[in-house]
Structure 1
Amino acid sequence: MTTRHACRALALALALALAGNLALAHGDDAGQPAAATQEKASVRFADVSLLNQDGMPVRLEQDLVGEHLVVMGFIYTRCTTVCPVVSAIMGKVQQQLGGRVGQDIQLVSISVDPQHDDARRLQRYARAFQKGPGWSWLTGTPYAIGETLKGLGFSADLSRHPPLILVGDGRSGHWRRYYGVTDPAVLIDELNRLGARRVHVKSTAIADHHEVQP
């Protein structure tokens, strides 16, 4: 096993171990249990330019979300508690979905600490979790990140940074927030549900079209 792969395996093992018995240990929130909950979400995409891990400018809605199904997490590289867990969960999602990631599904991780997390730092961090294409790690100016987080309903306050993952459909605008340590299978089930909804809507539209034909 190469040193790089050994480091990746160690990072994933530590993150998954944390996920098994994590208490929400961030600043003032230390000691509160990270119970998994979920809710419907209304999101707004700020029209700002961000940077991905390759240093390329991207716009979240236009370049990444589009009409994809999306799993979106919030992290920062200096975090040693909930962030590795969130990233490990998303890594499991990528592993289980295989080639669908980068096709109809996109993964996005947004740094909430843009003053420290430049593109190069995110690229190094991503190596411990990412196993293929279709996963973008984003940073930007403090203003751009702040506006982005505000629209997605997430606080940029590092002292109050709960585990949070968004799952949604860029085409339909249906989104759901998952708080706490969420089983990757739950996120995949939601992606499959959103995908099935697309098929149903398309089938219904085709049937209605045929009904109105003379």
Structure 2
Amino acid sequence: MNTRPDPIEHTSIRKLTRRAVLRGMASATLAALAATPPRLYAQHVAMGVVNPPVQLDDVWLVDQTGRKQRLNDLLSQHVSALQTIYTGCSSVCPLQGALFNAVQDRIPNIRANHPVQLLSIGIDPLSDSPPALHEWLMRFQAGPAWHAATPTLGDVDRIRTALSGSRLPLGNLADHATQIYCFDASAKLRWRSADLPRADEICDVLNALGRV
């Protein structure tokens, strides 16, 4: 008698197990954040609609495949949700990965005039190499609409400052924002979330920008 599991059923079980792990990681990270002094995130004060929209300075990025491209080229002709991460992070970044995993699942329900994409920007160029970015994406089951890329060391602070909209000190890597930044198809920053937004909130914004 053949007792080998059905391949489709086995794949489904693996996906369900992986999702349970991601949910567990998110719960553990939330518990850790609850014990974290809020002052760590005080430098990220700007949130909501960005008016007027902001065009970030164009910089070179290297993505998870080793390809080099301009930031605005990567954002152009897409409706994008962007987060900042670093691959060696064990505190908030796993939660950010789980968040984008949840947003990724909802992308097919977003009605947009342009492709919707997710972009994780590495902010530790010394460690966020293409292989490290690739491994980080695979950890959170990233699909073809989710990319990761790292700027040069000299451009990291410029990007973080422009994204935050704040003149306060950025702090060290461990203090980086858990905000999500949404861009329209002309590569302009149109919305900043609060720290740790809900997946549905991000999707609502992407839906709105997709009709611009």
Partner residue of 1:39 out of 43, 48, 64: 48
SS of equivalent residue, structure 1 residue 16? helix
- Which amino acid is 2:202 matched to? L
Listed as ranges, the matches of 1:37-116 within 5 Å are 38-41=47-50, 42-62=53-73, 64-98=74-108, 104-116=115-127
- Hey, what's the Cα distance between the residues in 1 that align with 2:68 and 2:156? 13
Partner residue of 2:173 out of 135, 158, 176: 158
Query: How far does residue 112 in structure 1 lie from its aligned partner after superposition?
Result: 1.2
- Which amino acid is 1:66 matched to? S
Structure 1 unmatched runs, 5+? 199-214
Listed as ranges, the matches of 1:1-214 within 5 Å are 8-9=18-19, 11-18=21-28, 20-21=30-31, 23=33, 30-32=36-38, 38-41=47-50, 42-62=53-73, 64-98=74-108, 104-153=115-164, 155=170, 157-171=172-186, 173=188, 175-196=190-211, 198=212
Q: Report the TM-score, using the length of structure 1 for normalisation.
A: 0.74
Q: Sequence identity, in percent?
A: 27
SS of equivalent residue, structure 1 residue 176? strand
- Which amino acid is 2:186 matched to? R
- Hey, what's the Cα distance between the residues in 1 that align with 2:59 and 2:195? 28
- Hey, what's the Cα distance between the residues in 1 that align with 2:200 and 2:158? 30
Q: Report the TM-score, using the length of structure 2 for normalisation.
A: 0.75
- Hey, what's the Cα distance between the residues in 2 that align with 1:144 and 1:24? 31
- Hey, what's the Cα distance between the residues in 1 that align with 2:77 and 2:25? 31
Query: How far does residue 91 in structure 1 lie from its aligned partner after superposition?
Result: 1.1
Contact 1:126 1:137 in 2 (8 A): yes
- Which amino acid is 1:16 matched to? A
- Hey, what's the Cα distance between the residues in 2 that align with 1:98 and 1:81? 29
Structure 2 unmatched runs, 5+? 1-9
- Cα-Cα RMSD: 3.1
Query: How far does residue 17 in structure 1 lie from its aligned partner after superposition?
Result: 1.4
- Which amino acid is 1:32 matched to? P
Q: How many residues align?
A: 189
- Which amino acid is 1:116 matched to? S
